Structure 1
Amino acid sequence: MLVAFSVTPIGVSESVGDIVADAVRAVRDSGLPNRTDAMFTTIEGEWDEVMAVIKQAVDVVAAQAPRVSLSLKADIRPGVVDALHEKVAHVERRLAEQ
């Protein structure tokens, strides 16, 4: 499965980048395939392992902020491997045809 998620500390200073970086570090340290962009971090793996990593990222933020906002979107598609890269590659191939 793929899960795109955003974890946001609330009730801290206006700049939250350092706290968010700590959450991203927890994701990267998990060893699961992942990618971070300006809005979301996407992680790929099995349900239990992905959700455990997301919980860890939330816990990292919660340790530094009195309130945490979590948004997520999941693509649950059993048997698909490397969707993190293949979904983008498919779109890029279609764009190249036109």
Structure 2
Amino acid sequence: MKVMIDICIVPLGVGVSVSEYVAACQTIFDEAGLSHQMHAYGTNVEGDWDQVMLAVKRCHEAVHEMGAPRITTSMRLGTRTDREQTMQDKVDSVQSKLS
């Protein structure tokens, strides 16, 4: 099953700057071959359910290995069975209505 997620992983106990942890997770999504788009407060990721969830787990493992004693993550996810749809398809649909 394909899934689209919006995820925000926040390491706690590491100070106020988290960009190095965000970069580590972006690398994990890249290495997993997942389509992803970072935005100001998280990342949209799409792909096979198991591959996406494994990448989320790897992000947690990596952030802990980087020294974060605690992580809080918020995630919204969606699936469709009626048709294939990408993140870009969703954006394009809205953009076409604005034209």
Counterpart for residue 35 of structure 2 = 33
Q: Give the residue type in structure 2 aligned to 1:19.
A: Y
Counterpart for residue 26 of structure 2 = 24
1:85 and 2:84 are equivalent in the alignment:
no
Question: 1:82 Cα deviation (Å)?
Answer: 4.3
More strand by share: 2
Aligned pairs, how many? 96
Counterpart for residue 72 of structure 1 = 75
Unaligned runs of 5+ in 2: none
Q: Distance in 1 between matches of 2:30 and 2:86?
A: 17
Q: Which runs of 4+ in 1 moved over 4 A?
A: none
Question: 1:89 Cα deviation (Å)?
Answer: 0.2
Cα RMSD of the aligned pairs, angstroms, is: 1.3
Q: Give the residue type in structure 2 aligned to 1:70.
A: T
Q: Is the 8 A contact 2:32 2:51 kept in 1?
A: no
**Secondary structure class of the residue paired with 1:69:** strand
Q: Distance in 2 between matches of 1:32 and 1:10?
A: 26
Q: TM-score, normalised by structure 1?
A: 0.89
Unaligned runs of 5+ in 1: none
Q: Give the residue type in structure 2 aligned to 1:95.
A: L
Q: Give the residue type in structure 2 aligned to 1:91.
A: V
Question: Residues 24 and 95 of structure 1: is their aligned pair in 2 closer, same or farther, counting only changes over 3 Å?
Answer: same
Identity value in percent = 29
Counterpart for residue 54 of structure 2 = 52
Counterpart for residue 42 of structure 1 = 44
Q: Distance in 2 between matches of 1:43 and 1:78?
A: 18
